[in-house]
Amino acid sequence: MSRPEELLTRRGDIKPRTFVAPGRINLIGEHTDYNGGFVMPTSIDKHFTFTISPNGTDTFHCIASDLKESKAFTIHDLKPGHGWHNYLMGVIDGLVRRGKVPSGVDCEFGSTIPVGAGLSSSAALCSGFGFALNELFHFGLDRHELVKIAQESEHKFAGVKVGIMDMYASLFGKEGTVMKLDCRSQVHEYLPLQVGDHEIILIDTKVKHTLASSAYNDRRAACEEGVKLIRTKFEEVDALRDVTPSMLEVAKPLLSDEVYRRCHYVVHEIDRTTRAAELLKRNDVSGFGALMYETHWGLSKEYEVSCEESDWLVKFASEMKITGARQMGGGFGGCTINLIPQHLRAEFEKQVREKYFTAFKKECDFYSVKLADGVHEVVRQ
Ligand code: GLA
């Protein structure tokens, strides 16, 4: 297949434009987004880069350069599935359903986001593609609408009932800050990330998490089941966001042990995230780190979305007096996020690498991340 630049030259068409769509980290607030709670994510300096231009036809020619794969389709071919192109199709479907019908494009993209590491490459793919089409065809949709389109693509075209955190972070992230996002009202507040002499380091367990596995949807269903039952006692409850720890205890006899543990984790995680935001504003890094550990053990023991490797990394971090550590993202592998005092960084990394290899017979990876701006166009000078 011809590369977009060649196609464009051949057609004498408009110059391609370049857009960047970052992955995300989340400091705290896990599995709270689809419960109407709070999260604290931001976009990072690992991203997709799209080179894209209208091609004057009705065909979308898309090239995933890292995979050396290409696909061509029209709006009549849109269908769900598990390929990268299905996410793009989902985005086009969302636009079309809003009366914004794009014509064909030539689009090539590549990414520096490690896949399956819990850094939301799929949300970045959908957010970046939606943003680019919105710009190219002057659709005039705002970023909130693009968040919805990206989320709908994951729901309808990839079959995973994700919350809004990942695409929201990719679209709204701001360099040097994290955001406290209220997933119910979809209003966010930027908080400067002042962590003193600490670094944020991700450790990739190299356990490929597959959110598409039904486990994520099962967790969501357990929360919905909890809400339904709690509402029989407290009719004002619409989501776990409305449930306080004491309400949950009153409703406990109505819930199965499993549903209770899932709800217990979420109710307390929403509370932790609110407290964490206050600690961050006061530059209380050690208080913040302690909450990250609490989150991890809640994810592991109550929500049961951790894995042996993540548990091992977090336990080891705590033994090495690392300020905060926890599994990040949907779970079942991917990365842990660590708040590491600079003076411990080198020794910690050395020991983790050696001991992780001894324990699991595979290497883990360390990623140092910078907090970067959300989806944007790269304007060439
Ligand atoms: C995945 C989902 C998000 C969120 C996290 C867990 O990343 O895409 O919506 O639910 O898991 O916090």
The burial of 188, by beta-carbon neighbours within 10 Å (0-12 exposed, 13-18 middle, 19 or more buried), is given as buried
Ligand 1, CB cutoff 6 Å, lining residues = 30-31, 33-34, 120, 162-163, 165-166, 329-330
The domain defined by 198-368 carries CATH number 1.10.10.10: no
Question: 115, 162, 332: which to mutate for ligand 1, most atoms within 8 A of CB?
Answer: 162
In the chain, domain spans: 4-192+372-378, 198-368
Query: Given this model, what pLDDT does residue 9 score?
Result: 42
Catalytic annotation, pick one of 106, 166, 242, 311 = 166
Around 93, how many Cα atoms within 13 Å sit in the side-chain half-sphere? 22
- Class for the domain spanning 4-192+372-378: alpha beta
Same fold for the pair 4-192+372-378 and 198-368: no
Give the model confidence (pLDDT) of 23-81 as tens digits: 999 999 999 999 999 999 999 999 999 999 999 999 999 999 999 999 999 999 999 99
pTM of the predicted model, to two decimals? 0.94
Active site residue 166: yes
Nearest residue by C-alpha to atom 9 in ligand 1 = 163
Query: Given this model, what pLDDT does residue 8 score?
Result: 45
Query: Given this model, what pLDDT does residue 196 score?
Result: 84
Nearest residue by C-alpha to atom 11 in ligand 1 = 330
| Residue 14 CB coordination number (10 Å) | 12
Query: Given this model, what pLDDT does residue 210 score?
Result: 62
Atom of ligand 1 nearest to the CA of 164: 9
Residues of the chain with pLDDT under 70: 1-13, 209-213, 381
